[in-house]
Structure 1
């Protein structure tokens, strides 16, 4: 960006060498870009050294850098980085002397299975991955480009939240991101991977996206951490109990997938995108299959027992219907009395919503209703047909369900 702006001003500045020198130095300070101006090269070298040191810190901890994470997600050699030389503009608390290229986030675009996607990856070794104004604007830019071009956007989140040195400007940056999450909702697929501890504002954007994937024993989501809770409410809780992958997959329902490793999370993301179109104006992508579309499923009559009091696993029915018996379950560990997920029929993606007789006899409760309603809305937004398998005796009754709002939450499924 610095070189581009400098070139635009070349005609005017060539008549005034001193003005040209001052302009180059100003651009170097503002954007952190490389320059051959007097003193500017040294400043650029210092900024570059800080970025390299940040990557070295991650390597020492055995963790991948933001660019390594992106490379493991996208097709080989497809990533094109944007705004690499942007730096923060905060002048308080000595931040003017701590510029780092990229401002703690790597943004750009590439392909997954040949289909374009936009991506951003936060760098935890740069101020803890905290979000400042320039950091936020880089994320907003790729989100805008994703909506404009009609392509999915994927966030690799690893951030401690707002950058306190930038104060209100950092919070304004979050507001701009949240706004775009809302504008993109139902327009382009949004997928969030939680790859480290995320707190405060850093967890709200993922909660607004279509799918959230977490890594077991290394990623966390919470508004405030255990230390703050201990100081304010005197409750003792570990970060795993408060916001770990199992907590948000089994209890809160914030996350849809719990993956054993970052590599597994990347592979799951690539598979998940295969069920989604690039945007809400397209049909989901078909894939080749050797499974005949007119094949019979004679075993189905044996899977469903004639005794209505005898439970059975609805997943066996689903996999019998699916191409190549492949079923990708979503929200597997949350509200287990309801099963939702994706399969292919004759190569076309299909969403499945099914009661699970093995758990609570398949009865509907608050969590099952919310889980199914959210999934149905997602499929509806992206033109994914839905297969419904119904075996439900009733809605669960009880004082606690009524007090917690079973009527309004159950109505969400009716509305979806």
Structure 2
């Protein structure tokens, strides 16, 4: 069991996407999974009328994400509120829990959802999370399933083990997967989008089609407090009231650099939206992109950084 059992491959190796207690439960969930998937890569996939429609604005959605950027929350609470009938089939639930991937429906059509999970490791990207998300993104692209990405990422996991394990190479797999995907790609930045991890998570720089952002989001190389402590170290230590000086500098940095309107002005995002409008805006974006045609340059195949 320890070497090759269900737990070993579902939690540690990532070989198993699903684990069930009984054969009956397994068969039922296989049928459920097939209900999300098209018959082939040219099929539009099953259209399941849920009665949910585009839906009304959800004024409680913003309250699910704490204002304090360091406080955790469960991104699945957001996912359940934006998909039809709160139905979400998570893939690889036990492996690399700092990122969540799975299938849902929006306006009766299947979508693949990728979301950073602040409840685990603050939602940071590490080797396992990068591989997990990259495989899922490529799976969706194989079967012509649109992608919705929910972003709240503080960066890549630091540390010797990650560097020696090839985090740069593994992180590049997710970059490659998003950049190569020709399916509709819609992204919502909810809170943190820092550094290289922001680029990786379906940013405009990787050919994402529609990028939306909440007013509470921060898009920057790093958080305001960390940046201020580095950039203004001398000014803070030399002031009569370091705490007050730091507070003022953080506020100034947030206003000038990290607020989402700066990113919108530069074309890095398409719109700053009311969080309550997230589901309707996602559905409208996916409807607009329904007939998207995108082709890759003629070549035998790309060279993903394996």
- TM-score normalised according to structure 2 size: 0.63
| Larger-Rg structure | 1
For the structure 1 residues 113 and 241, does the alpha-carbon distance in structure 2 shift closer, same or farther, using more than 3 Å as the test? same
Cα pair 1:150 1:279 within 8 Å, conserved:
no
Preserved CA contact (<8 Å) 1:116 1:151: yes
Contact 2:72–2:119 (8 Å) recurs in 1:
no
What displacement does 1:64 show? 5.4
Counterparts of residues 4-403 of structure 1 (less than 5 Å): 23-24=4-5, 27=9, 30-31=12-13, 65-87=74-96, 102=97, 104-165=98-159, 166-167=162-163, 169-184=166-181, 187-205=182-200, 206-207=203-204, 208=206, 209-216=208-215, 218-226=216-224, 227-228=226-227, 231-232=230-231, 236=249, 237-250=252-265, 252-261=266-275, 263-277=276-290, 280=293, 381=294
The residue matched to 2:212 in structure 1 has which SS? strand
Structure 1, residues 95-138: CA drift from partner, whole Å, max 9, x if none?
Answer: xxxxxxx2x11101121111111111111132221001111112
Cα RMSD for the two superposed structures = 3.2
Number of matched residues? 223
Confirm or deny: 8 A CA contact 1:213 1:258 kept in the other structure. Answer: yes
Shift of 1:31: 4.8
Unpaired stretches in structure 1, ≥5 consecutive residues: 1-19, 37-56, 88-101, 281-380, 383-416
Quick check: 2:93–2:100 contact (8 Å CA) kept in 1? yes
- Structure 1 residue 22 displacement after superposition: 5.3
Distance 1:232 1:76, change over 3 A: same
Question: 1:29 and 1:210, CA in 2 relative to 1: closer, same or farther beyond 3 A?
Answer: closer
Q: CA deviation at 1:225?
A: 3.5
Change (3 A) 1:114 1:28: closer
Q: C-alpha offsets along residues 284-326 of structure 1, whole Å, 9 cap, x if unaligned?
A: xxxxxxxxxxxxxxxxxxxxxxxxxxxxxxxxxxxxxxxxxxx
Unpaired runs of at least 5, structure 2: 22-63, 236-248, 296-306
Residues 120, 139 of structure 1: 8 Å contact kept: yes
TM-score (norm 1): 0.48
Deviation of the 1:224 alpha carbon: 3.1
Residues 136, 177 of structure 1: 8 Å contact kept: yes
